[in-house]
Amino acid sequence: MSKKNILDFSYEELMAYMTEELDVKKFRVDQIVDWIYDKHVFEFQEMSNLSKDFRDFMDEKFFVGIPEPIDIKTSKIDKTTKFLWELRDGNTVESVALFYPKRVSACISTQVGCALKCAFCATGASGFTRDLTPGEIIAQVLAMEKIKNIRINNIVYMGMGEPLLNYENTIKSVKMLNDKRLKNLGGRHITISTSGIVPRIEELAEIPIEIRLSVSLHAPTNIQRDKIMPINHKYPVEELIQACKNYQKITNKRVTFEYTAIKGFNDSEDDARNLAALISDLKVMVNVIPVNDNPAGFEKPSKRFLDTFARILINKGIDVTIRAEKGSDIEAACGQLKKRFIEKQ
């Protein structure tokens, strides 16, 4: 029998499997969980309050699927740290740790690559390989905490891949991160970012955890969005906005719209007015993001354009932020580190 990744088990699954199938005492399971999730010890032989025989037994049955860091870049500007991980099958994914005065936030991946091919995204250019397991998603958080000696208290599913196309594994990982016996992270500190997988957005409303929803909108019309986000052909803007309304009707939670601003494409005053009209019936925050370096060669708008764009939305009663760039000196956007690593080979 092949070894199992212990991180793929929820607490209930692990307790049932180890006590019922492997005849392990309940307190031993809790000891192992504490070593992994609290003490960040990922080798059974280092778990000192377990007997040698039991450590050997665990080595025979399980492994702790922590990825290997093959490239780590830390910003000299703001300490933003980007990790390129190698998984057990040789595939690579990225994560980012972002440091703020009162919190540490992590941006984590849910897939190896991405199938959506958004024009401004470096990950989409690499294509899609496979989904991550729940354990591979969670392992990014645990590995960053150990390497940087930090406690991550905010997690955003906004790394490589589309979380809602790996729905079951994504939601299982959310529930495990939220579990008080595992990571114990409050639902309000977990955000799922989606490019607009309409049926899954409505399913999210039924999850009994107060997670936050972020939608990558990036354009106020179908004509514009079609050009940069192929997923819009399947789920056009009107359907996406209606799904957000349905989600908000059930949850009463504010939705964040991510809006990547591209010079000469979606940053005009008319674009701002069109966006305001589109989302006028929703309780929202619009996060305006100057475009990162990208395969299509899009350029950032000037600060004057960004300020004018934001001011129009604010005058329409819409909450707006212009995202401050983090880790600009290390290319901290999704897919950039992997792309640079591949180019070196």
Q: Using one digit for the tens of pLDDT, what is the confidence trace for 46-74?
A: 999 999 999 999 999 999 999 999 999 99
The catalytically annotated residue of 94, 136, 145, 162 is 94
The catalytically annotated residue of 60, 168, 334, 343 is 334
- 46/121 same-domain check: no
- The pLDDT, as a whole number, for residue 333 is 53
* SS (HEC) of 236-265: CHHHHHHHHHHHHHHHCCCEEEEEEECCCC
The domain total for the chain is 2
- 138/53 same-domain check: no
Range of the domain at 29: 4-63
- The pLDDT, as a whole number, for residue 1 is 63
Query: What CATH number has the domain bearing residue 20?
Result: 1.10.150.530
- 53/120 same-domain check: no
Q: Which one of 63, 79, 101 terminates a domain?
A: 63
- 181/50 same-domain check: no
Residue spans of the chain under pLDDT 70: 1, 325-345
pTM of the model: 0.93
239 is catalytic: no
- 12/130 same-domain check: no
Query: What CATH number has the domain bearing residue 87?
Result: 3.20.20.70
328 forms bridges with which residues in the sheet? none
- 21/78 same-domain check: no
- 163/307 same-domain check: yes
- 89/221 same-domain check: yes
- The pLDDT, as a whole number, for residue 340 is 40
Cβ atoms 146, 197 nearer than 8 A: no
Q: Which residues have CB under 8 Å from 220's CB, separation 6+?
A: 237, 266, 271, 274, 275, 277, 278
343 is catalytic: no
- 28/114 same-domain check: no
- The pLDDT, as a whole number, for residue 345 is 35
84 forms bridges with which residues in the sheet? 71, 94
> Coil, strand or helix: which one is 169?
helix
- The pLDDT, as a whole number, for residue 122 is 78
Q: Which one of 21, 46, 63 terminates a domain?
A: 63
DSSP state of 127: -
- The pLDDT, as a whole number, for residue 326 is 67
Q: Which one of 46, 63, 80 terminates a domain?
A: 63
- 41/74 same-domain check: no
- 47/139 same-domain check: no
Burial (CB < 10 A; 0-12, 13-18, 19+), residue 129, is: middle
- Tens of pLDDT, residue by residue over 138-187, are 999 999 999 999 999 999 999 999 999 999 999 999 999 999 999 999 99
- 179/274 same-domain check: yes
Angstrom distance (rounded) from CA 159 to CA 296 = 19
